[in-house]
Structure 1
């Protein structure tokens, strides 16, 4: 799905929760996508831990707290229309930032679990310069990853900073999918950092928050 494809799905019309600096006063924005069974408000609370003055938070809420019904490793069609509707929710949040005068190269996507999968997929499917991507415990969506699906034409992330953080034994996210996701993003000229944490489980750790905090700071320092 590209950003120009209109989707009227289960997540359209759901709330867009805001936080951080007021959008009209902000010079950068985070688009925050939550995990399965979680909430947009929970992502706002996570973002509060990495906030810098001048950064607005935009967190779409998934219908019934779930972006798509099955594992992200299932065939794509088994997670429709939720997957495409979730990608549209990200696009709409970026549009909100753009409409407030924040360019996309100062918009950073931050997602956890299901939300990390969606954020990764969105950036790879809509390549351009973003303020950043932080995918925490997630990866590209589908039964397998075919780089040719993403590297058509002149697909170029133009040095977008990207961070992939995950446990090496995450029960939901195979380490191999993190590696495959990193390979695709690097092939699209992302400035990529990948960290696998030994025995962590499915969560977010202090090292990840510290790294993401630095990425957020760079949004308003450059």
Structure 2
């Protein structure tokens, strides 16, 4: 997959980027999972997680960031310091979500799974576009912005299953931000599970993977 983007550097640096796919074709799938990769990673790499899932009729989609980076600075930096890349990245996820909806897959059968920078982006997108989704998995990430950022999001997650997993020795993600994200998504009526793993740095462990597998299988089993 090419990372080169002729739009990079303008007001929408992620415009025209590709979306990698796997699983059932979107036109015949009943459930969709949107994977959001981390800084320096690839969409294709995130799709490898889908090999762990046994759910049927699931379409997997993974947008690719320009230059493998959704925004240039830390997710804890002032919002304006990550513009226009951050807004462009959120718009990109919105286009992917609309593509899924246009295929006839409702929000409550659509899951978002993000790792690291992708987890930050996925949690921010879901908070800003709150409705009843199939699920949200935030693996080593949290809501975007410096301490004290207003979290006056609208809408309701209406019981959306949310999983937050992070290590207590993660050099990039303060545990306090994971807690804040938990509280904000809970206030938006999410059904939130948080797991902080003692001694773990930046990564995904087997228990987190099982949570994600169960989340997707539950979404796929909705009557």
Task: Give the TM-score taking structure 1 as reference length.
Answer: 0.92
1:169 is aligned to 169
* Distance verdict in 2 for CA 1:137–1:11, change over 3 Å: same
For 1:11 and 1:48, locate their aligned partners in 2 and report how far apart those are by CA, in whole Å. Answer: 27
Within a 5 Å distance, the mapping from 1:199-214 to structure 2 comes to 199-214=199-214
Within a 5 Å distance, the mapping from 1:1-222 to structure 2 comes to 9-146=12-149, 148-150=151-153, 152=154, 155-222=155-222
**Quick check: 1:9–1:82 contact (8 Å CA) kept in 2?**
yes
Instruction: Name the count of aligned residue pairs.
Output: 213
**Quick check: 2:151–2:184 contact (8 Å CA) kept in 1?**
no
Per-residue CA deviation, residues 52-85 of structure 1 (Å, 9 max, x unaligned), is 2111011100000000000000000001111111
For 2:50 and 2:195, locate their aligned partners in 1 and report how far apart those are by CA, in whole Å. Answer: 20
For 1:148 and 1:180, locate their aligned partners in 2 and report how far apart those are by CA, in whole Å. Answer: 10
For 1:86 and 1:48, locate their aligned partners in 2 and report how far apart those are by CA, in whole Å. Answer: 26
Gaps of 5+ in 1: 1-6
SS in 2 for 1:217: helix
Task: Give the TM-score taking structure 2 as reference length.
Answer: 0.92
For 1:48 and 1:82, locate their aligned partners in 2 and report how far apart those are by CA, in whole Å. Answer: 30
* Distance verdict in 2 for CA 1:215–1:191, change over 3 Å: same
For 1:106 and 1:147, locate their aligned partners in 2 and report how far apart those are by CA, in whole Å. Answer: 29
For 2:139 and 2:148, locate their aligned partners in 1 and report how far apart those are by CA, in whole Å. Answer: 18
TM-superposed deviation, 1:216: 0.6
**Quick check: 1:50–1:209 contact (8 Å CA) kept in 2?**
no
* Distance verdict in 2 for CA 1:20–1:118, change over 3 Å: same
For 1:51 and 1:115, locate their aligned partners in 2 and report how far apart those are by CA, in whole Å. Answer: 23
Root-mean-square deviation (CA), in Å?
Answer: 1.4
SS in 2 for 1:192: strand
Greater CA drift, 16-25 or 57-66: 16-25
**Quick check: 1:147–1:184 contact (8 Å CA) kept in 2?**
no
Per-residue CA deviation, residues 167-196 of structure 1 (Å, 9 max, x unaligned), is 011000000000000000000110000000
Per-residue CA deviation, residues 135-181 of structure 1 (Å, 9 max, x unaligned), is 1000000012545422x5xx311001100000011000000000000
**Quick check: 2:11–2:84 contact (8 Å CA) kept in 1?**
no
TM-superposed deviation, 1:48: 2.1
